[in-house]
Structure 1
Amino acid sequence: MGEDSLDLKGKIIRPADLVNYQDGSVVSRMLTYTPQGTITIFAFAAGSGLSEHTAPFDAVLQVLEGNAEVSLAGKNFDVVSGDMIILPANIPHAVHASISFKMMLTMIHA
């Protein structure tokens, strides 16, 4: 965990304000990293995404702004601001933002 993350401890934060959109790319900022898990904020420019992949841990995807399509084990879900979806460990998933979209990903290591 970097010094920047330490500056956030003990403060009220608005996760969506911690990352900015960048044309044609996905921007991320890790808020915390511990042996038990991580919390990362992502900003997806319209048309960007994460290709199908797996992760060794369960993760909770929470939509902060905009909407996106999440593919989980071949099934597509439209998620909008305020929605959450649990991504089980070792199950293929992908994220595609047709419009600008921000999310918080909490990965649970233990």
Structure 2
Amino acid sequence: MKTASLYKDLTYQDNKPLVQPLLETDFTREIRIVFKGGQMMKEHFTPFPIVIEIVAGEIDFGTRGTIHRAVKGDLISLGGDVPHDLTALTDSIVRLTLSKPDRSERVMQVANQ
């Protein structure tokens, strides 16, 4: 058994979202992304499907020229190779589920752009 917390030891960085790997299973990588209101992750894509859960806050999730407003409790599933971006409208916590072949380092690079 492995455990992690989406709420423990939260840090809101002033200059960019904070990407923190939380848990690795046999088939997924679970990542927490902590945004201050106004922070964003520029358009990017992953070669693998992902699932995003809005744990707290409010996010504008852009894909294919459309912005989807996502709030606490919302889930978004996205196929691989689909360009997307995220903008936090308020302080927000996002849980990102990656496929096992994907890497958390890739997500960290996107947040650092």
**What's the TM-score, normalizing by structure 1?**
0.80
Cα deviation for residue 34 of structure 1 reads: 5.5
The one-letter amino acid paired with 1:104 is R
Task: Tell me which residue corresponds to 1:97.
Answer: 88
1:76 is matched by which residue type in structure 2? I
User: 5+ unaligned residues in a row in structure 2: which ranges?
Assistant: 102-113
Report sequence identity in percent.
Answer: 25
Larger radius of gyration: 1
Moved more, 96-105 or 33-42: 33-42
Contact 1:36/1:109, CA 8 A, preserved across alignment: yes
Per-residue Cα deviation, 1:37-80 (whole angstroms, up to 9, x for no partner): 31100101111110001101100000011111001222110000
- 2:25 and 2:65 map into 1 onto residues whose CA distance is 31
Equivalent residue pairs, number: 101
Partner of residue 36, structure 2: 45
Q: Cα–Cα, structure 1 residues 18 and 62, in superposed 2: closer, same or farther, change >3 Å?
A: farther
Question: Are 1:64 and 2:55 an aligned pair?
Answer: yes
Alignment map for 1:1-110 (pairs within 5 Å): 9=2, 11=3, 13-33=4-24, 36-109=27-100
**1:24 Cα deviation (Å)?**
2.9
For 1:47 and 1:93, how far apart are their aligned partners in 2?
A: 17
**Which runs of 5 or more structure 1 residues have no equivalent in the other structure?**
1-7
Q: Report the TM-score, using the length of structure 2 for normalisation.
A: 0.78
C-alpha displacement at 1:36, in angstroms?
3.1
Question: Pairwise CA RMSD of aligned residues?
Answer: 2.0
Contact 1:42 1:102 in 2 (8 A): yes
Report the secondary structure of 2:85's partner residue: strand
